[in-house]
Amino acid sequence: MSNVQEFTDGLSKLDFKNMYEDNFFLTWEKTDDEIAAVFTVADALRHLRENNISTKIFDSGLGISLFRDNSTRTRFSFASACNLLGLEVQDLDEGKSQIAHGETVRETANMISFMADVIGIRDDMYIGKGNKYMHDVVNAVTEGYKDGVLEQKPTLVNLQCDIDHPTQCMADMLHIIHEFGGVENLKGKKVAMSWAYSPSYGKPLSVPQGVIGLMTRFGMDVTLAHPEGYDVMKEVEEVAVKNAAKTGGSFKKTNSMAEAFKDADIVYPKSWAPYAAMEKRTDLYAKGDQAGIDALEKELLKQNAEHKDWCCTEELMKTTRNGKALYLHCLPADINDVSCKDGEVAASVFDRYRTPLYKEASFKPYIIAAMIFLAKVKDPAATLKALEARNSLRHFQ
């Protein structure tokens, strides 16, 4: 493609005007057109950058990041997305802030937002807390903007909460779209979102929930597989059921990894903690019950160890469609005899898919940049054309 015209032509067929000056919390809160707009703008921005055209729409401004859980890919993807659009990134380190001295969410949100255009938050460890905190931040900056405290209202991008991981799952989805040659080729494809063994405790639910909440929107047959007791949120399962009914796909659950992998076109073996255990953990942390937390960790590690056979092996991969299913993972994966003795995936499987996995991850900066772009640009198509016409070189050689 020699220019952005095909991207802007695609945008002209979509209704996404409500994304302007809005936030991005959960994928299932967005319309099909809005999801398609994110994919289209992400591809357009990537196209421009690959052709050495600057995509800076800001001359100044900040992107504020707050990571309440460790991160490599999402942290750097957010920084890359902000930089791509011309924003500098400032990380809010709560340990170096006045939050420990009792500063309220309302005050913190406004104090960091005087020149901020976007706030990215990752808060995924505590059920009922992360997504709520993000809404609290948005409510605070909205009030600050209305009261004249802030010159602009920063948009919020959910970089992973207790319910959904929209930037990850949309990057996964755009990778799938490219691998299968377009959205029109996805209907009827089988997706296995499967639990897999991990020697660690307390992995968030947001990736499997995000996957079933998004991939059921494309007419695919999505199977959620996990051992008994490793349930996800019922309300997210209900979203998946409704999506599948609407698109002509299907959503089902099984307690068999083998059943999920059988004839699958896409497999996503990933560990997560049981929803009930994450609820209990949240309550224990709220009470400051360290002894209870330690006991729960031992209990869950023991429970995990009963399911070491839930591993993405060569034998399982051979049962997928023509033995060549697309293997996905949000990374880092627990790799047998590499990062741990027993884990989510055999080393030979992971090594074979290493390049596609890295390509999968490479979509995330563009997905985040597209979310920001659509929230900050009133006429995205015109702006993309203007960036191309301006032809400002990103890199002078």
What residue spans define the domains of the chain? Answer: 5-164+364-390, 168-361
**Region 366-377: what's the mean pLDDT?**
98
In terms of Cβ atoms closer than 10 Å to its own Cβ (0-12, 13-18, 19+), residue 82 is buried
Contact 142, 150 (CB under 8 A): no
Which pLDDT tens digit goes with each residue over 144-161?
999 999 999 999 999 999
* Secondary structure (H, E, C), 181-214: CCHHHCCCCEEEEECCCCCCCCCCCHHHHHHHHH
Domains 5-164+364-390 and 168-361 share a fold: yes
Burial state string for 347-364 with b = 16 or more CB within 10 A and e = fewer than 16: eebbeebeeebeebbbbb
Pull the structure tokens for residue 376.
Answer: 């900050």
Check whether 246 has a pLDDT greater than 70: yes
Assign 201 a pLDDT band (cuts: 50, 70, 90).
confident
**Region 294-322: what's the mean pLDDT?**
96
| Distance, CA of 188 to CA of 325 (rounded, Å) | 14
Assign 96 a pLDDT band (cuts: 50, 70, 90).
confident
Answer whether CATH 3.40.50.11540 is correct for domain 168-361.
no
β-strand 155-161 against 190-194: which pairing, if any? Answer: unpaired
Contact 357, 331 (CB under 8 A): yes
Report the pLDDT value the prediction gives residue 2, as an integer from 0 to 100: 61
**CATH T-level assignment (fold) for domain 5-164+364-390:** Rossmann fold (3.40.50)
